[in-house]
A = this chain, B = another copy of it.
Amino acid sequence: MAQVAVITESEQLKTLWLVVAGSLIFFMNAGFAMLETGLCQVRNSTNVLAKNLIVFCVSILAFWILGFGLMFGNGNGWLGNTGLFFQAFDPPLQNGFGGGFDSLQILYPNQPWMVVFFFQLVFAGTTATIVSGAMAERVKFWAFFSFSFCLVAIAYPITGRWVWHPNGWLTTNFNFLDFAGSTVVHSVGGMAGLVGTILIGPRRGWQGYNPDATKGHRFNDSPQNFGYNNLSFATLGCLILWLGWLGFNGGSARSIAHIPHIIATTMLAGASGGVFVLLLRGLRSHKPALSLVINGILGGLVSITASSVYVSLAAAIIIGAVSSIWIILLEKLLEQLKIDDPVGAIPVHLGCGIWGTLAAGLFANQLPPYINYPVIRIEQIFAQAIGIIAINLATIIFSLIFWLLIGLIIYLLESINNTFKSSTNRSYSLGDRELN
């Protein structure tokens, strides 16, 4: 067994916090499940829940097999090439790293690598879960299952490495700032969802959508109303997610002393998103739209994720308030573009993820000691833009490849199946028509 370093109490404390924060982030799976089952139609409820539950199981296995090595293994600024098939390097109870993970000693000095594995794992799982929201109520179970595996095994760890690995090219060349993942986690999840949503089309009946009509006549003028399953679940989901975000942002702190400031900005941005979205639209209609408040809060939380340690409390409130404008505009835009996003995952995670990453450039007025240079405003904003474009573009390409491959396999499997079974009317698609 490898040699065990002497661990200080301060390092033990850090270990404990990573465990607690990781547990809170893990619990976000319950938040997403409740949010999505609450905002979807009751008849698709079981399907939505099953996807939410299995996606995290799949993510764990995918990250263990391949993802963690690609993201934190040794290699260049683009890709890791050691530590794949994690089990080969499994030295239980060991402290310190080695065996293909030199970077972790820099990022998490003297931490047992299992705690890093756990903490990074729950981030990866969150990314995959976001996708399920945008594609809810219509994506085929096994297609989504496979996509989640690919996303967490390959796409997420590669783009994540660019930012969070000490040698990542976005970090070393541009000092791209994304503290806890407005882009690395939320934009990536939201963008993968957007690509999938466009490929798969809306739910049957949404804005009168009829996938069997000829092109150009698929939307009619009598939109069917899609009710909510149960807003109690959605509200619970929102509050569980908010709780989890305290671990999400707080757990990313390098030092215990930074946590309180991070928690405070996170609380304020969430509250600001909720209150301003209500003031912006609620005052007009005199009726509080609960689903809007929920997404306003979540948008504020996504926005502050990139910068919670770098900005002042006042800036956190501004960031949250601006995100509420984004939410309203983007929801309107998606409706115009006939893109069906049942739970509002794209405005919240992609829209506010981009905004939050830009905001880190706009408002960062302090950098923790470990980033040893002053922020030059215009350069930092440029760096943020580079990072946003690079990661989103990569996610689009990865998602297209994954969905097309999965679609091809489904087409082939169903063709083979039909050859023997002579059943017709199969869909040959990623979407589960019967669901809706």
Copies in the complex: 3
A130 CA to B30 CA in the complex, in Å?
21
List residues of chain B with CB within 8 A of the CB of A388. none
- Which of A84-92, A175-183, A209-217, A326-334 forms contacts with chain B? A84-92
Contacting pair B259 A46 (CB below 8 A): no
Contacting pair A267 B112 (CB below 8 A): no
List residues of chain B with CB within 8 A of the CB of A92. 261, 311-313, 366
Residue ID in chain B nearest A34 by CB atoms: B236
Is A396 in contact with chain B by the CB < 8 A criterion? Answer: no
A267 CA to B117 CA in the complex, in Å?
11
Please report whether the interface of chain A is mostly helix, strand, loop or mixed according to DSSP. helix
Is A405 in contact with chain B by the CB < 8 A criterion? Answer: no
Contacting pair A236 B141 (CB below 8 A): no
Q: Which of A15-30 contact B (CB under 8 A)?
A: 15-20, 22-24, 26-27, 29-30
Contacting pair B270 A57 (CB below 8 A): yes
- Which of A74-82, A271-279, A342-350 forms contacts with chain B? A271-279
Partner of A272, one of B34, B61, B112: B61
Contacting pair A290 B260 (CB below 8 A): no
Partner of A114, one of B95, B114, B260, B271: B260
List residues of chain B with CB within 8 A of the CB of A242. 26
Q: Which of A112-147 contact B (CB under 8 A)?
A: 112-115, 117-118, 121, 141
List residues of chain B with CB within 8 A of the CB of A236. 30, 33-34, 236
Contacting pair B313 A261 (CB below 8 A): no
Q: Residue among A247, A288, A293 with the most chain B CB within 10 A? A: A288
Q: A257-B15, A268-B60 are in contact. Are A54 and B114 (CB under 8 A)?
A: no
Partner of A29, one of B17, B38, B239, B278: B239
Is A401 in contact with chain B by the CB < 8 A criterion? Answer: no
List residues of chain B with CB within 8 A of the CB of A233. 232
- Which of A4-12, A159-167, A192-200 forms contacts with chain B? A4-12
Is A337 in contact with chain B by the CB < 8 A criterion? Answer: no
Partner of A12, one of B10, B52, B90, B368: B10
Q: Residue among A7, A38, A93 with the most chain B CB within 10 A? A: A93
Q: Which of A248-294 contact B (CB under 8 A)?
A: 250, 256-261, 263-264, 267-268, 270-272, 274-275, 278, 287-288, 290, 293-294
**Chain A contacts to B: CB under 8 angstroms:** 7, 9-10, 12-13, 15-20, 22-24, 26-27, 29-30, 33-34, 37-38, 45-47, 49-50, 52-54, 56-61, 64, 86-87, 90, 92-93, 95, 111-115, 117-118, 121, 141, 229-233, 235-236, 238-240, 242-243, 246-247, 250, 256-261, 263-264, 267-268, 270-272, 274-275, 278, 287-288, 290, 293-294, 297, 309, 311-314, 317, 366, 368
